[in-house]
Amino acid sequence: MTRLRVFTSVTVLYLAMSIGLWWGVWTTHPSSVTTCGCGDAARFLWFFEWPAFALTHGHSLLYSQWLFHPTGINLLNDTSVLALGIVLTPVTVLFGPVTAMNVALALAPVLSGLAMFVLLRRWVAWMPAAFFGGLLYGFSPFLITELAYNQLNIAFLAIPPLLVLALDELLVRQRRSPYRAGVAVGALVVVQFFVSTEILLIMAIAVIIGVAMVIGWVTVGKPDGWRPKVGHAVRGSATALGVTVVTLAYPAWYLLRGPAHLIGPIWSNGAIDHYGNSFTSLWRDVGSGQLAGEMLRFGGYQGTPMPGLGYLGAGVIVVAVVGALVWRRDRRILLFSAIGLVAVALSLGPGYGHWVPWVMAEHVPWVENIVEIRFSVVTTLCLAIVVAVAIDGTRTWLATRQASSGWRSHKSAPATAAVAIAVASVIPSVVGLWSNLPLTTRAVVLPHWYQQVGAHLPPGQVVLSYPAPFAGVQSSMAWQAVNHMSYAMAGGGGPEGVANRAGSAQGGFDVLFSASFAVGPPPEPSEVNVVAVRHALAIWQVTMVVVPDQPELPSYDQGRSPAYAVGLLTAVLGSPPHYDHSAWVWSSLTPTHPPIPMTNSQFDACTIGPVAASSSRYAVSDCVVRGVGATDRG
């Protein structure tokens, strides 16, 4: 087969597996069904809609006031996957953000696997070895789990293998112009910057470690053989640095000093700081551990718990270890085994009762911001390379022995044995993922008001949605994205959507978050609380507050009960809402209505029991405004 036919065949196989993985999307309505319209999925829907909206309406790609109004959001300080959003803008414009995100989710394992396949085709003679290496990388438990949690910035891993390929050409093979190789390295760095700065930093650390190992080996081993290559490597590296600096100078400034830039943790958001592997989580499927509950509520995935992010599977570990021992003279296996082991050490998290290397890096600027377990990206890449090279070496050795010794076995025996080893490396990973195959999907549901009214609001509206879009409660970001940014929103999710970044509005932020997140006791409508929320609404320049009242909505779209939300917000705003398309709406927020603080017993009398169950639609708000028991509107 020609190279093109081989590449096409592998692409089709990977794509078929990805479609099977997302069967619930592609066999239903890819424009309205995805992991769900909640949690991080909702946030990424917003990130796919924004580039399309910005490019068609003349707004900045890097900054938006449509979230966190009026301060706005610096997209480079968030997991905005701008590179993916920009490329998929035609899909977003034609079919909407849900379709665009589904395309990205489906292509992430395909392109990641293909990138590894292309890298391995340079290093292995037997095509199936490269195919299995791409499979181990592109469909690894780490990548699939991150996809399920809709962490596209982490799950889109097509750039790292291509970066290894470009560096191999620049530093080792040197068969092409150093300037072309340097441009390739620089271009890949730039693209990765706009996919995930965290993965870029992790890869930079891995590259530094790998280059240091190579330099050490050369210095001790054969320095004379490498001296002619130094000039080529220096010219190419200077080119790569120049491309990177020129292209990323402004975006890097924007990230660090641009409008609405953040200070402090970004990638981990402080919520999963110090989350790393234990020694046993690499080969023992312990599930998502401490993150399982958080991911169900915040990450958006509604299926059974996924494997832990550090889970590799006993099969691939055994094959890699045995292969590294048997083929230890292969410099590629030596190098990537060593890098992989360092990555494993860096992925270990503190808190398991023993010292881990991360404690030496946890105070280094930016490096401290990395979530330790995400070094599993490097471990997975190295394992795929080691396993593929070992499989190829095994098949070649068996074929040579068969030919030289006259074995009477079938001529396909070497290939069969190599495939058996490859399958053995994959089986534990498949078992770990099996209960979630295909991945669980849900429809993106918009409340009636957002379908009928929210999509057609006049310009200049700033909406406070309920549940309020703070921290992991992000469903309303999906509603705004599907409505093509027809209004701005108070608040938002991600690293900016935490209380300590709300400034003087922090008190109101805390109340609204607790009121929306139905865990623990609800905040009371005390004078302190209602004044704090009122102050926050003024700071955010809110013009409209909307509380959907649809019992059939998914639980993650509802917050606490509508009666509670209506009662609290009536107390805050000092006036009753009007009922419109199955939602309670305050559309004229004026300071002329003073807040209405209440005791818990007074508030409960209005929001629980006979008043809340009254046939009068306005019973709760009338009770709050006019006193306990007032239900005089129909």
* 401 and 454 both lie in a single domain: no
DSSP per residue, 446-496: PPHHHHHTGGGPPTT-EEEESS--EET--HHHHHHHHTTS-SEES-EEGGG
Q: Do 423 and 456 reside in the same domain of the chain?
A: no
Q: What is the pLDDT of residue 282?
A: 84
Total domains in the fold of the chain: 2
Domain containing 592 equals 448-626
pLDDT at position 381 is 97
Residues forming beta bridges with residue 585, ordered by sequence position = 546, 578
Q: Are residues 415 and 484 in the same domain?
A: no
Asked if residue 83 and residue 133 are part of one domain, the reply reads yes
Residues 59 and 152 grouped into a single domain: yes
43 falls within a domain = yes
Identify the pLDDT of residue 634.
Answer: 44
State whether 547 and 454 are in the same domain: yes
Residue 520, burial from CB neighbour count under 10 angstroms (0-12, 13-18, 19+): exposed
Closest CA to 51 of 97, 9, 99: 97
- Residue 626 confidence (pLDDT): 81
Specify whether 403 is located in the same domain as 460: no
- Give the Cα separation of 344 and 281 in Å (integer): 11
Are 159 and 182 found together in one domain? yes
| Residues 461 and 389 occupy one common structural domain | no
Residue 634 lies in a domain: no
**Whether 205 and 354 share a structural domain:** yes
Specify the pLDDT at position 229.
84
pLDDT of 238 = 97
**Per-residue pLDDT at 479:** 97
Is 441 a member of any domain?
A: no
- Assess whether 413 and 454 both reside in one domain: no
Same domain assignment for residues 387 and 455: no
Give the end of a domain, one of 436, 461, 480.
Answer: 436
Res 358: pLDDT: 79
pLDDT < 70 positions in the chain: 1, 221-225, 268-274, 285-299, 351, 353, 405-411, 627-634
Residue 573 lies in a domain: yes
User: What pLDDT was estimated at residue 270?
Assistant: 47
Domain boundary among 372, 401, 436: 436
Looking at residue 310, its pLDDT comes to 87
Whether residue 442 is contained in a domain is answered as: no
How much is the pLDDT for 408? 57
User: What is the model's pLDDT at position 609?
Assistant: 84
Residue 70 lies in a domain: yes
* Domain end point (choices 436, 462, 489): 436
> Is residue 512 situated within a structural domain?
yes
Question: Is 569 in contact with 577 (CB distance < 8 Å)?
Answer: yes
Looking at residue 329, its pLDDT comes to 87
With respect to residue 409, please indicate whether it lies within any of the assigned structural domains: yes
